[in-house]
Amino acid sequence: MTGDVLSLNQATIKKADLREAVRVCAEVGFGGIGLWRDRVAEVGTAEAARIVRAAGLTATSLCRGGFFTSTDADERAAALADNRAAIDETAALGAGTLVLVAGGLPSGGRDLPAARRAVREALDALAPYAQARGVRLAIEPLHPMFCADRAVVSTLRQALDLAEPFPPEVVGVCVDTYHVWWDPDLDAQIARANGRIACLQLADWSLPLCADPLLSRGHLGTGYIQLAEIAAAAYGPGGYRGATEVEIFRQDVWDAPARDTARRVYESLTEICVRARAPVTIR
Amino acid sequence: MTGDVLSLNQATIKKADLREAVRVCAEVGFGGIGLWRDRVAEVGTAEAARIVRAAGLTATSLCRGGFFTSTDADERAAALADNRAAIDETAALGAGTLVLVAGGLPSGGRDLPAARRAVREALDALAPYAQARGVRLAIEPLHPMFCADRAVVSTLRQALDLAEPFPPEVVGVCVDTYHVWWDPDLDAQIARANGRIACLQLADWSLPLCADPLLSRGHLGTGYIQLAEIAAAAYGPGGYRGATEVEIFRQDVWDAPARDTARRVYESLTEICVRARAPVTIR
C-alpha cells in the first residue's frame, strides 16, 4: 500500500504516458507515483501494476472517483458503477487509496445542500464495496472556487464530517495544500483528522490566477503557502505516515520536459520534507 | 442609520459619479445607496451627505476600510490613520457601517497566522474610535480565492470570531453572498451571527470566472447561489433588520447604461426579497 515515500502525481508530467512517467520518477529518485485512470487504462491495469512494481516504485494513490451529484437517476447509477470500477483498479494497482472529487452543482441547479447529501449517499453505497477490496476512499475537499462546477466538498472539516461514520481505514480524506491552505480552521481539522488522512498532496498557490483556475497550481516555493508547516502538521504525533505527493496542473509545467519538471519537484519537495521533519524516505 | 431598504452599492454602476449614482438610485426606486470613499471624496463628505439626503436616500454602508496586514510599522500606522479617516467619513455620511476588507498576505510573505493576528490588533486599535463616533465596523470575509492578495479573513466563522470580543453595535460582519455562499458552515454561522450582521450584500456566482476573479460577480439570478435562501436566513428570527445591498463588479455590467443596470438590479432584488420574506421596504 501507500508507503512513506516522496511521490510525483503523474498529472504533473501530463504529457508522459504511464511507462515514461514511471521511468522518469524512478530515475529522478521518487519512491512513489500517483496514478491517473486514463493513463492506466492505456496499458491496462495489470500491466500498469507490473510497470510500477518493476521500476521499484509504489503507487501512492489513484485519481479519481467521485462526481456523485447528478440529479438524474441513470447518471447517478452510472457514476456509482464507474466508482466501483475505480475501486477495483485501485485494488489491482496496489495503490491503496482512491481519491474522490465530489462533483459540483448538477446542471442548472442551485441546491447545494441536496448536492452535498448526494455525496453522503454515494459514500454509503460505495464504502462496503471499497472495504471488501481493501481500498481506502479519500474524500478531497476542493478549493471553494470550484464549488459550483467541480466539488461541493469545500473544507477539510466537511470532508471529515462525511468520513466520520465510516472506519478510518475505509473512508479517509485527501489533504491538498492548494485547496485548503487558506482555511482558518485547517490546523484544528488536521489535528482532528488523526488517522483519517489518506493522501497528502502539495502544490503552491501562485498569482495571478490562470484563466482556468484549475491550472493555477504552482511549483513548490513559488507561491503563498506555508507548505512545510502544513506538512509538519499532517505528519505530527499520531498523524499521517504515508507518502507526500506533488500534483501540479499548469500549462507551462506541462510544456516543460518531464524529467526537468520531475527533478525540480524532487528537489523542492525534499527541502520541504526536511524542513517539516516528515517521516518520509528520501533516497 | 442603515434602514430596512433596498440599496444599490454604487460600485455596481461604477462609471457614474456620486451625483449621478444617487439620481439613478432614487429614480429607479431604491431607498438606499452603498457608498465608496473615492466617489465621496470627489464632492467632499458633507456635500455627499447632503446629496444623498436631498434625494431621500439612506446611505447604507461605506466601502471601505481595512488593509491591516502590512509588516511595516509605518505602513501599519498609515493604515490605521486612513481607517480613522474612513470612520469619520462614515459618521459624517450617516452611513452607520464601515465595511472592512482585511488585506492579504504582506508582500513576499507567507505567514498567514501573523497576518490574521494583525487584523485582530487593528480592530483593537480602531474599535474604541469607531464606538466614540457611533460607527459600526463590519468585517467582511472575502472568498478564499482572495486570501493571498486581498483578505486573510475568509469565512463568516472567522469574521465572527474576530468580532466577538467587541459589542455587537461596534464590530459586526458583512455577509456578501459572492464570498460566503459555498461555505458548509454558513447556515450555522448566520444563526450564530444573531445581531452581528451589519451589512448584507448580494451578488451571484457566475461561471466561467473572469480573468480577474474580482470582476466575476454576476447579476442576481444568473449564477449558482441560492440568494433568497441566504437572505431569508440572514433576516430570520432575531436576525438582521437592515438594508439589502447589491454589489456587482463586472466589466460588462459597468459598460451598460447605469439606469439599465440599476433597474435590472431593482427588479431582481425585489423578487429575491419577496421570496425571502425579507422585512425590507419595497416601494
Cell 511549483, residue?
A219
Residues A162 and A116: their CA atoms lie apart, in Å, by 9
DSSP-assigned states of every residue in B90-104: HHHHT--EEEEE-B-
Sign of CA dihedral B145, B149, B150, B153: positive
Closest partner residue to B205 (CB to CB) among A148, A181, A225 is A148
Question: What's the pLDDT band for B2 if we cut at 50, 70, 90?
Answer: low
Closest partner residue to A209 (CB to CB) among B184, B185, B213 is B213
DSSP-assigned states of every residue in A151-196: BS--SHHHHHHHHTTS-TTTEEEEEEHHHHTT-TTHHHHHHHHTT-
Residues A231 and B261: their CA atoms lie apart, in Å, by 48
Residue A282 scores a pLDDT above 90 = no
pLDDT at residue A238 in the model:
85
- Superfamily of domain A67-171 in CATH is Divalent-metal-dependent TIM barrel enzymes (3.20.20.150)
Between A282 and A75, residue with greater pLDDT? A75
Give the residue on A whose Cα is nearest the Cα of B111: A226
Task: Give B158's contacts in chain A (Cβ within 8 Å).
Answer: 184
Q: Kindly report whether the global pTM for this prediction surpasses the value 0.80.
A: yes
Contact at CB, B149 and A111, closer than 8 angstroms: no
CATH 3.30.465.10 fits B6-275, yes or no: no
pLDDT single digits (tens) A103-140:
999 987 999 999 999 999 999 999 999 999 999 999 99
Contact at CB, B148 and A223, closer than 8 angstroms: yes
Q: How far is B145 from chain A (nearest CA, A)?
A: 6
Q: What is the mean pLDDT of residues B33-43?
A: 98
* Mean pLDDT rounded to a whole number for chain A: 96
Residues A225 and B111: their CA atoms lie apart, in Å, by 8
Query: Where in chain A are the domains?
Result: 67-171
Tell me the backbone φ, ψ of residue A177, rounded to 5 degrees.
-55, -35
Q: What is the mean pLDDT of residues B151-179?
A: 98
Closest partner residue to B184 (CB to CB) among A154, A213, A223 is A154
Q: What is the mean pLDDT of residues B159-182?
A: 98
